[in-house]
Structure 1
Amino acid sequence: MATYDRRTATLALAHALSAAERGLPVIPLSRTKLPALRSPHRDAPEPFLCRGECGRPGHGVHDATADPAAVRALFAAAPWATGYGIACGRSPHHLIGIDLDTKSDTDATASLRHLALRHLFTIPETVVVLTPSGGRHIWLTGPPGVTVPNSASRLAPGIDIRGAGGYLVGPGSLTDHGIYRTAPGTGHLAPAPCPSALLRLLVPPARSHPRAGPSADGPGRGHGLVQFVRAAHEGQRNTRLFWAACRAYEDGIGDSLADALAEAAVHTGLTDREARATLASAARLTTAS
């Protein structure tokens, strides 16, 4: 390996270990910003669904770890790595990445500002990473039990969201287009909690068909929210419960509907403890000043 490449790999590992010390799960990335390790099942005759259960590396974001020894092992298996990715949605930070793209025709920064004015939230002081193309990654954290999905330009043109199952390129990573760097004055900050109004925009209800959602108003509002939660499938349960609970608390019926919502969530497969934790998160977020 060339001296320059060896130095680059050493720096990538050092940056990754620094992130891991902060509790951020990481994986090695190549210059293309893709996971550096190829799937161990790539030669399987048929599609092979594995998220690391086989115990071998090469499962992308599912390999992400904050354990220093495991991080070193991943980078040792990928000595060509020039950067690292940080898994979003994982404990303890439950990281959410707001990716403001400058390559689109729309000013993503202005779009985010308009959203903030319309929905009455402000982006707190937090970690901001500058991309080589001139974009920005804003780091926020979400509450446990709430799944923020990945999306591209759903929130607004030019704004992509990195949530559960996604990753952010870590500062210090070298890519084909340049180096990702922490914005001045933000490197010492911890990722800030996502504003409640923005979080509600990031976790819209997942509808299987147009009639799956609750009624918009009227005396059956509470019943509709409960039925909406009961109709959740695996992968939707926490998200639906959180969305319905936020609507209930915003309408002033959260406390009276909490037991029914919890019972509906338990019916879908959540434990009562999980359901109550999600309800508590919704109550806390919707009543925050």
Structure 2
Amino acid sequence: MATTDRQATTLALAHALSAAERGLAVIPLSRTKLPALRSPHREDPAPARPPCHGACGRFGHGVYDASTDPVRIRELFAAAPRATGYGIACGLPPYRLIGVDLDTKTGTDSAAALRALARRHRFVLPATVVVLTPSGGRHLWLSGPPDVVVPNSAGRLAPGIDIRGAGGYLVGPGSRTDHGTYATAPGTAHLPPAPCPPPLLRLLLPPPRTPRRPLPPDTERHGHGLIQFVLGAREGQRNTRLFWAACRAYENGIGPALHAALLDAARTTGLPEHEARATLTSAAHLTGHHP
């Protein structure tokens, strides 16, 4: 490894240990901002692959490896000698961190969109930790209440605003990536993560689940697989899976009856309702139907 990489790993470890002293659980990250340790189950046959989140005792479970224990953190970094950054796990005590990621790569003014939301829903963004990203974006650190689980989302609040909640992580300040270094905004490094304003917290939570409407027997039998296909979508494939399932439903003559169930499934995966409705409409039109 090059000397500069060794120095970057040493600095990343130092920053990670400093974050852990503040009660923030951390993991080592690579230059691509991904967890630096590969899954120990990558060689397991897919059908037999266990749903393991670290119960096996080995490293390589992403955010589930996160720790505030300095001994464990040093072990994690020793196992990841090419790490140049660290991730901070969200949703864990004591802060139950919520990250508001204001992105600039979409070409939208995400900061202005957040201010507009604050005006519309009558909340004030508190003084809190702000991390500047190499692309010109910002991460706002907020803390959540102990009885609420905030999910991860992308663009659900507004274009360019992503949320890092339970099961997610934020790139910690001091991390070096392929695109530059993350740094704390002047005057915010000493601040604790401020409590999330209640009106904003309500916007971050998923809408309450509506009771599933019963489907006709034939639709239930043929549509179950399509609904499960949509529910299995990960971020980045939700629209594609929904569109494919909706096209199959309309081609099989059950599109109208399955519309509400597909919409519910898409919302469950985190797809914004307006996007899901637009995708369902596109599938109907493509197959010669009118939703």
Shorter-chain TM-score above 0.5: yes
Give the distance between the partners of 1:157 and 1:30, measured in 2 at CA: 27
Per-residue CA distance 1:171-209 (angstroms, 9 max, x = gap): 000000000000011011111000011011111334255
Give the distance between the partners of 1:199 and 1:93, measured in 2 at CA: 14
Residue 144 of structure 2 is matched in structure 1 by 142
Mind listing any 5+ residue stretches in structure 2 that lack a counterpart?
A: 215-291
Per-residue CA distance 1:91-124 (angstroms, 9 max, x = gap): 1110000000111132100100000000000110
Q: Percent identity?
A: 74
Alignment of 1:111 onto 2:113: yes
Give the distance between the partners of 1:21 and 1:211, measured in 2 at CA: 50
Q: Which amino acid aligns with 1:168?
A: L
Query: Which residue among 85, 94, 97 is the counterpart of 1:95?
Result: 97
Alignment of 1:35 onto 2:35: yes
Offset at residue 51 of structure 1 (A): 0.2
Offset at residue 2 of structure 1 (A): 2.0
Give the distance between the partners of 1:143 and 1:92, measured in 2 at CA: 10
Residue 18 of structure 2 is matched in structure 1 by 18
Residue 4 of structure 1 is matched in structure 2 by 4
Alignment of 1:49 onto 2:24: no
Give the distance between the partners of 1:139 and 1:54, measured in 2 at CA: 32
Give the distance between the partners of 2:8 and 2:107, measured in 1 at CA: 34
Give the SS at the match of 1:156.
coil
Give the distance between the partners of 2:118 and 2:76, measured in 1 at CA: 39
- Map 1:175-214; keep pairs closer than 5 Å: 175-207=177-209
Q: Which amino acid aligns with 1:165?
A: G
Give the distance between the partners of 1:130 and 1:124, measured in 2 at CA: 17
Give the distance between the partners of 1:106 and 1:152, measured in 2 at CA: 14
Q: Which amino acid aligns with 1:41?
A: H
Offset at residue 75 of structure 1 (A): 0.3
Mind listing any 5+ residue stretches in structure 1 that lack a counterpart?
A: 213-289
In the alignment of these two chains, the number of paired residues is 212
Give the distance between the partners of 1:210 and 1:192, measured in 2 at CA: 37
Query: Which residue among 158, 171, 183 is the counterpart of 1:156?
Result: 158
Q: Which amino acid aligns with 1:163?
A: G
Q: CA RMSD in A?
A: 1.4
